[in-house]
Amino acid sequence: MSEARPMNGIEVARDIMERAAERAAQFEARTGAKPCLATVLVGDDPASVTYVRMKRNRCAKYGIESRHVPMPETITTEELVSAITELSNDPSVHGILLQHPVPHHIDERAAFDAIAATKDVDGVTSQSFAAMAFGRDGFASCTPAGIMRLLDAYDVDPRGKHAVVIGRSAILGKPMSMLLLARDATVTVCHSKTADLPSLVRTADIVVAAVGKPEFVRGEWLKPGAVVVDAGYNEGNVGDVAFGEARTRAGLLTPVPGGVGPTTIAVLLEQTVTAAFRQQQISA
């Protein structure tokens, strides 16, 4: 049986980040300051702490400053919105990342939408979503945008293909479906109430798994030769796709780790540098 070709997210991410680092250095040379990303973390969930630390380390490595803004678990929506509004109005901050998820008592949509669109380098605001959906200028949601970069790097053209997106979350499944649609894929968005998911997946040329359930997508669901993107980040670095099974069916397959995750962070860095240039009204 033939084995799927792996899509190397580490390599694709490195290219994106090296280019971002060059532009960050140019920005610093011209303005005297590095591009700056504010990272807002509510509470101290260990996985979230790790992800935010990874993002800040990656910023430091590629010439981007980060300013960490930790918030107590007990903060109210109002307090969080006002802290984010302050960052939106702070000219020394070019990008804002509010780490998802926030505690249940907080209105996450309200918090995301307190991020100024010009600083929404994570692509989570309603305004960015609309821009993404209508093909207007704006920052894309990082994980879906990173996935599009992976597809491009491996010459996967979504045009006319059937793409099945499993998951409809605000920062993953939903924007993913918009970006694939913008590239002329025929998109089916599946979720927990979808009837007969395996049959739908079997018709997919491109599968994006974004459900958050370890090894949920089975190898036998896949059309032989399909492009399979695993956007799951479950405990213990296990994806949403049963990798061992998928490897004997898929044509191209992202590993976890080393697939979607690194490109997500790379797009965040790239968009932070772009935001910095735009806010200074200078071009890269």
Ligand X SMILES: Nc1nc(=O)c2c([nH]1)NC[C@@H]1CN(c3ccc(C(=O)N[C@@H](CCC(=O)O)C(=O)O)cc3)C=[N+]21
Q: Is 258 annotated as a binding residue?
A: no
Residue nearest to ligand X (CB): 261
Choosing from 99, 125, 127, 177, the residue that interacts with ligand X (CB under 6 A) is 99
How many other CB atoms are there within 10 angstroms of residue 37's CB atom? 29
Q: Mark the segment that binds ligand X (CB under 6 A) among 21-29, 97-105, 152-160, 212-220.
A: 97-105
Using rule CB under 6 A, residue 57 touches ligand X: no
Q: Which of 34, 55, 161, 223 is catalytic?
A: 55
Spatial neighbors of 92 by CB under 8 A, at least 6 apart, are 33, 36
What are 204's two structure tokens? 């997919």
**Strand runs labelled E in the chain:** 5-6, 36-42, 65-71, 95-98, 162-166, 186-190, 206-209, 227-230, 252-253
Q: Tell which positions 202-241 bind ligand X, by CB under 6 A.
A: 233, 237
Measured between alpha carbons, how far is 256 from 245 in angstroms, rounded to an integer? Answer: 14
Contact by Cβ (8 Å): 7, 254: yes
Whichever of 38 and 97 has its CB closer to ligand X, that residue is 97
Give residue 246's Cα distance to chain centre.
23
Active site residue 161: no
Using rule CB under 6 A, residue 167 touches ligand X: no
Active site residue 120: no
SS3 (DSSP) at 238? strand
* Nearest-approach distance from CB 220 to ligand X, in angstroms: 25
Active site residue 99: yes
What are 284's two structure tokens? 């890269």
Choosing from 265, 269, 273, 276, the residue that interacts with ligand X (CB under 6 A) is 265
Binding residues for NADP(+): 167-169
Binding residues: 167-169
**What are the residue numbers of the active site?**
55, 99, 122
Residues in contact with ligand X by CB under 6 A are: 51, 97-100, 122, 124, 142-143, 171, 233, 237, 256-258, 261-262, 264-265
